[in-house]
Chain A
């Protein structure tokens, strides 16, 4: 089962390697990981998407908590949360297909951020499934390049991860 975990860590030397090394060293799966400092420059927040059964997830959260640099771990799976991912998609847009690409971009409320005679670069924000959907529709047009940020999540309402 897929789990999305937020990890608040001390923003210090080697902390990303500690977390990623823990996943590889213990054979845990890591689907995506995004990280950036929080409002407090001494802490960073990671969003990790991983897969595993309950036993594995229990170990993942316990092992993350065990790291000295970890301040807080929240598994959002059973929580109400908002999830967003950013994708930049460079898609072939020539002659008769230029209008069709624009229509798809419009339907998904994405936007074109760079234009050349032969391509559009599209910026798309949404839940990962929505990005998957736009990619499916754009694939027949010819996707030259795609880059995804991996999702970030935040709890709905008062649910938070503040250190």
Chain B
């Protein structure tokens, strides 16, 4: 039986195990949407293509599956770009299908034509323009394979309209054959053996865990390694949920807004083990002051991450799951050395405990005005054990990383690499679609929230009970903080002058809105929101000029933290 291009697309998606897609229809994908009408695949209609991509991203981050998006040509496709770049920077597996004008019109500046392959080349792991229907099944197969293997990432397929309507006999390839793409999976056992020896010899070791650990689901392996060696762990923003925050060996986040003790530990350690982390500038601060007393081991799936920013002493390229399993097995063979290691590192752990006691993570509470950190502490306390947290970008994002006690893997969704305001609400939407029964909370600022607030409509339409907590300071807070500290309090364009009635905004969409400016009401507002079976927007009018501290000023080493504002 012959199938059309659009039927082949949907059938291929089904064969890849896709149950849900996020998207927005338009002229160049109308055939796909017509076939979708009869398809078992569930489609979530967002109110903007950027939100569809963030939603698929949230779906992917929580489930580990490939997120799928459909958008039309031209503006539909260009609207996906910020979402794609966000996913690319954080290595999120995704397949984006865009409609394209008919092949005969490509290059003619046709209506709603954009060279989306050209535009997304630097922000996708790979992309395809389908020029012949016979290539379509292979390209879809390759797209999913590329998206989910190696260092994951978004892959775009641009599908011209004439190819959607053309037909042929369909068969889906069972395997992929690509000469240029063979990710290294097994780490080199000898290199791992050297890493084990370096770890055993170290007197002041620290694990520096990044987003790769979250993506590879190595939380059990990580925990086993940490408990065996009693080695302290600091996590990047991307890995806050990969290691339980309340674990006695957890140091919290490092870097620009990291904890005093995490940054001091990295500065003073004699061995730094990077696990799926890429030495981002927000982590390292001034690079020549970063971990300069330490030998560095780096475990990563991506060879281009090795030696990119810092010279490492021992690189191990491979899938983290395989590498950490081998490392653990090798160490298990050496129980006496491990015991000796635990003993020789006890002084180091005491030193770290001293730093923890000297400058614990904290803030000055107030009874007069709501401190944003207090709201996050309360959310952390009152939310379900398996609650999924998303954030936008800015002060509230850093406070969430600092004060929310993450308990389970894949429960913290945030735009770390690109830093995309407007990410959190649609990502929460996608997470809630993936897990309808779990608590999903978007922690937001008033600025970021307004970048994709239209998605309240999607929440209400699909009865997605996402809870939104806006920490409203009527400022673009993080920029304001920099202006206060480094630009003589010249608050250029960071005052959000118009006071928005967020309760009315929520109600206009058919959601529930709650607001308070009283410290005593914070807990009851959160409890009420959690009891309501539907989307709820909570607005907390918070202390306007609260700063995120500690803070490492740009250009300084991470041990040179500002500890009070």
Contacts and interface: CB of A to CB of B under 8 A. Distances in A.
A14 B178 contact: no
Interface stretch (A45-53, A66-74, A125-133, A142-150): A66-74
A108 to B, nearest CB: 40
Contacts of A10: 179-180
A58 B303 CA distance: 10
A69 B142 CA distance: 12
Contact of A69 (B180, B303, B304, B308): B180
A14 B304 CA distance: 22
B121 A17 contact: yes
Contact of A66 (B118, B131, B302, B311): B302
B84 interface: no
A62 interface: yes
B172 interface: no
Interface string A38-59: 0000000000000000010011
A71 B180 contact: yes
Given A17-B121, A18-B121, A59 B304 contact: yes
Q: How large is the interface on B (under 10, 10 to 19, 20 to 34, 35 or more residues)?
A: 20 to 34
B163 to A, nearest CB: 14
Interface stretch (B58-66, B122-130, B326-334, B546-554): B122-130
B129 A14 contact: yes
B146 interface: yes
B196 interface: no
Given A13-B129, A13-B131, A65 B307 contact: no
Nearest to A58: B307
A63 B304 contact: yes
Nearest to A12: B128
A135 B131 CA distance: 45
A21 B304 contact: no
B181 interface: yes
A163 to B, nearest CB: 6
A71 B177 CA distance: 12
Dominant secondary structure of chain A at its interface with chain B: helix
B41 interface: no
A65 B302 CA distance: 11
A57 to B, nearest CB: 11
B180 A14 contact: no
Contacts of B146: 68
Nearest to A54: B307
Contact of A17 (B118, B303, B304, B307): B118
Contacts of A22: 122
A27 interface: no
Interface in B169-203: 178-181
Contacts of A69: 126, 180
Q: What band does the interface of chain A fall in when counting residues whose beta carbon is under 8 Å from B? A: 20 to 34
B505 interface: no
A14 B118 CA distance: 8
Interface string B300-335: 001110111001000000000000000000000000
Contacts of B307: 55, 58-59
A124 to B, nearest CB: 35
A25 interface: yes
A66 B181 CA distance: 8
A63 B307 CA distance: 12
B30 interface: no
Nearest to A14: B117
A73 to B, nearest CB: 10
Contacts of A71: 179-180
Contact of A25 (B117, B122, B125, B303): B122
Q: Which of B117, B122, B180, B307 has the most CB of A within 10 A?
A: B180
Nearest to B127: A14
Contacts of A18: 121
Contacts of A9: 180
A23 B242 CA distance: 34
B303 A62 contact: yes
A66 B304 contact: yes
A10, A62, A63, A163 — most chain B CB neighbours (10 Å):
A62
Contacts of B180: 9-10, 67-71
Interface string B112-150: 000001100110011101010000000000000010000
A66 B121 CA distance: 13
B463 to A, nearest CB: 40
Contacts of B129: 13-14
A58 B146 CA distance: 23
A138 to B, nearest CB: 40
Nearest to B178: A68
Contacts of B127: 14
A96 B125 CA distance: 61
Contacts of A63: 304
Given A14-B121, A18-B121, A68 B303 contact: no
Given A21-B122, A59-B304, A62-B304, A68 B131 contact: no
Contacts of B122: 21-22, 25
Nearest to A62: B304
A25 B85 CA distance: 14
Contacts of A58: 307
A66 B146 CA distance: 12
A130 to B, nearest CB: 35
Interface string A67-95: 11111000000000000000000000000
Given A21-B122, A69-B180, 7 more contacts: A14-B118, A14-B121, A14-B127, A55-B307, A65-B303, A65-B304, A71-B179
16 contacts: A13-B117, A13-B129, A17-B118, A18-B121, A62-B304, A62-B306, A66-B304, A67-B180, A68-B126, A68-B180, A68-B181, A69-B126, A69-B180, A70-B180, A71-B180, A163-B179
Interface of A: 9-10, 13-14, 17-18, 21-22, 25, 55, 58-59, 62-63, 65-71, 163
Give the top 3 A-B pairs by smallest Cβ distance, nearest first.
A62-B304, A68-B126, A71-B180
